[in-house]
Amino acid sequence: MAVSYPLAMPGAPGFRGARFGLRASTAVFASPLSGAEQVVEREGARWVAEYALPPMTRAQAAAWVAFLTSLRGRRGTFRGFDPDARAPRGVATGTPRVMGAAQAGNQLATDGWTASTAGILKAGDYVSLAAPAQRLYQVVEDAASDSLGRATLSLEPRLRESPDDDALLATANPWAPFRLLDDEAAWETDALGAFGITFSAAEAL
């Protein structure tokens, strides 16, 4: 069967550690006389990650080795996520959807939440959208729903494109397509045959 991207990462063993964050895109111009700086924010902020797996036997490592080689370097994509935030800290009840088309910037109007709920999402929670493209955003301020189940979310990074009206928001297991940072898929083994795997990736824009 042909490989279909984005791939799902193997479920076991779990990560030994991870580094996950948002890489901004800015340009800084400094005056040669006064040293005063002007900072310009550009499009292209993206999520970056480094995933580290625990020592594994060959049998345990086989699925991870196959996953890495199946990506064909930077050709393929996989479902990347923050492994320490797979579930929201907020209540996150209801069936949340995008409320209105042509939205832009760092605010997203939504509805479909359980009505009149404080902490429907909390700062640090993630949401993902699949329409018109699969994207991952982090909520940076606590959000509450009103009596009609509406909530405005403050997000980072800014919306990459206007999401489709009525598109569903995923609050559990949110993800975005990622690709490896280079074309090498590699693993290490020690004298006892234990496998060690660490790989770095960035959001595929």
Tell me which H or E stretch contains 68. helix 58-70
pLDDT given at position 33 = 82
| pLDDT confidence tier of residue 112, bands split at 50, 70 and 90 | very high
6 in a domain, yes or no? no
pLDDT given at position 27 = 82
121 φ, ψ (degrees, to nearest 5): -140, 150
169 has pLDDT over 80:
yes
Mark whether 98 and 164 lie in a shared domain. Answer: yes
Phi-psi region of 115 (alpha: psi -120 to 50; beta: other; left: phi over 0): beta
pLDDT given at position 34 = 83
Mark whether 36 and 106 lie in a shared domain. Answer: no
pLDDT given at position 26 = 79
Mark whether 151 and 110 lie in a shared domain. Answer: yes
Mark whether 168 and 181 lie in a shared domain. Answer: no
67 in a domain, yes or no? yes
Question: The domain containing residue 25 runs over which residues?
Answer: 17-81+177-203
- Does residue 180 contact residue 73 with C-beta atoms inside 8 Å? yes
For β-strands 26-30 and 94-98, DSSP reports them as unpaired
Q: pLDDT by residue (tens digit) across 30-81?
A: 888 888 888 777 888 999 999 999 999 999 999 999 999 999 999 999 999 9
Stretch 172-183: mean pLDDT: 97
Sequence letter at residue 4: S
Mark whether 72 and 100 lie in a shared domain. Answer: no
Q: How many residues does the chain have?
A: 205
Domain count of the fold of the chain:
2
pLDDT given at position 160 = 93
Mark whether 67 and 35 lie in a shared domain. Answer: yes
69 in a domain, yes or no? yes
3 in a domain, yes or no? no
Mark whether 161 and 101 lie in a shared domain. Answer: yes
Distance separating alpha carbons of residues 175 and 157, to the nearest angstrom? 14
| pLDDT confidence tier of residue 107, bands split at 50, 70 and 90 | very high
pLDDT given at position 92 = 98
119: which DSSP letter? T
Distance, C-alpha 166 to centroid of its chain: 21
| pLDDT confidence tier of residue 101, bands split at 50, 70 and 90 | very high
Rounded percentage of the chain residues whose pLDDT exceeds 70 = 100
32 in a domain, yes or no? yes
Residue that is written with structure tokens 């310009």 in the block: 40
- Does residue 203 contact residue 126 with C-beta atoms inside 8 Å? no
The CATH number that applies at residue 101 is 2.40.30.290
pLDDT given at position 180 = 97
Mark whether 23 and 76 lie in a shared domain. Answer: yes
Mark whether 56 and 77 lie in a shared domain. Answer: yes
Distance separating alpha carbons of residues 157 and 25, to the nearest angstrom? 11
Distance, C-alpha 141 to centroid of its chain: 17
131 in a domain, yes or no? yes
Looking at the chain, which runs of residues are DSSP E strands?
17-23, 26-30, 37-41, 46-52, 78-80, 94-98, 107-113, 126-129, 135-139, 151-156, 169-170, 176-180, 188-189, 195-196, 198-203
Tell me which H or E stretch contains 3. none
Stretch 179-193: mean pLDDT: 90
